[in-house]
Chains A and B, each alone.
Chain A
């Protein structure tokens, strides 16, 4: 377990509430969940992502190794691009979530949803048939995350207009934020503009402080895991700590398009291939409470249709944007469709399309809009 004092940003992570994520203690809520949520949804928000494992994968068969352990084909990944992916176990279940960043001769693997020591063991276990090496660089780098509909404008103030040309899952290397040297990945799991910032450990505080200082003009707030997880739920990004903790395979997570029929053999392939004809037994479907109570359904609570148990609640929260409780249920595949009324306890919920919300970032054109004119 990694305690807060192990983080290079420990002095910046004082919060009202902390929690354990992937074996690392991180801020859950700095001061107030709704304020942090509003910063994420309306302005700009900064968070520490110390729970990510970070690994350099190199060698002549680095790409073959990464393709073997990942669901999508990493060989298709161009230099300077990033894949958002799942690493699989032999039985086709999801072992961890990750970003694979192609930097040319080396790949950067950023892992989430699993303690990094378990990830390292997993990688080394499957490495034996490949000419590749794995180097754990988790402690050498910090990872910050800047999200929000005006995150792009804050970064533009610091590194210039080149950030505007950065498309989703593209990277910019060797950028200066204050005196820190930073690798920037356009990413995020909130549905708003988002950027992951990889920075050497000894420069992390400088980077954090520069972003917070410049961010004052965007009313930036530091945000904890609870606000990030709520936005993640609203936008239906899979969350291995929550909704995906009980799934048996990626198909139950609605991630069927990540499976590549043409790809060479990989971990879990035979189990996944069977699903392409049979389909998954269960599937995650979103739901919205029909009432306006802010009571949040319990995880594991039974979901029923016409009195029959069809599944259980696997994630839930109160959407400040909708003014209603929302959630995800893992239910029988044959009834995992939108527009149906289910029951959770004595409450009626209606199944709903992904995503739950319409993001402000969808309407923002960086060439035309600015936080300062609220356009």
Chain B
């Protein structure tokens, strides 16, 4: 374990909590064949990575709203790239666990 300053460790723990919640939501909602821990934070949602499709993207949008109370605009696909870009969006929009 790196001797990171306490404020950095706090920031990491806060992000980890959101990342874990996103992975759990996706695995549960999309019935993925992965355990949440088997998904890296920078895993792509479409194309390679989780290999999801356009129908799944609607489910992700619904999942983000129900789990975090944030609404991904239908005309903005920038949050829907990786687990980390979803986490960026949740944090930016003030989503709550």
Contacts and interface: CB of A to CB of B under 8 A. Distances in A.
Q: Do A and B come from one complex?
A: yes
Interface of A: 84, 168, 236, 251, 254-257, 259, 276, 283, 285-286, 305-306, 308, 310, 332, 334-335, 337-340, 353-355, 358, 362-363
B29 interface: no
A255 B3 contact: no
A36 B11 CA distance: 39
Contacts of B39: 256-257
A340 B11 contact: yes
B43 interface: yes
Given A257-B49, A338-B15, A358-B78, A305 B43 contact: no
B1 to A, nearest CB: 5
B31 interface: no
The number of chain B residues touching the other chain, given as a range, is 20 to 34
A305 B77 contact: no
A243 to B, nearest CB: 12
Given A84-B48, A236-B42, A337-B16, A353 B2 contact: no
Chain B interface, >50% SS class = loop
A354 B44 contact: yes
Chain A to chain B: the 8 pairs with minimum beta-carbon distance, closest first: A353-B84, A354-B42, A254-B40, A254-B42, A256-B40, A353-B85, A332-B2, A337-B12
B73 interface: no
A198 to B, nearest CB: 20
B47 to A, nearest CB: 5
Contacts of B87: 338, 353
Contacts of A251: 40
B38 A256 contact: yes
B41 A338 contact: yes
Nearest to A188: B47
Interface string B58-85: 0000000000000000000110011011
A255 B40 contact: yes
A117 to B, nearest CB: 28
A353 B42 contact: yes
16 contacts: A168-B48, A251-B40, A254-B41, A254-B43, A256-B43, A285-B42, A305-B4, A306-B4, A332-B1, A332-B2, A334-B4, A340-B12, A353-B84, A353-B88, A355-B81, A363-B77
Contacts of A335: 2, 4, 8, 12
B92 to A, nearest CB: 11
Contacts of A306: 3-5, 8
Given A257-B49, A310-B2, A334-B2, A339 B11 contact: yes
A255 B40 CA distance: 7
Contacts of A255: 40
A335 B9 CA distance: 8
B3 A308 contact: yes
Nearest to A276: B38
Given A338-B88, A353-B82, 11 more contacts: A168-B47, A257-B43, A259-B38, A308-B3, A334-B4, A334-B12, A335-B4, A337-B41, A354-B42, A354-B82, A354-B84
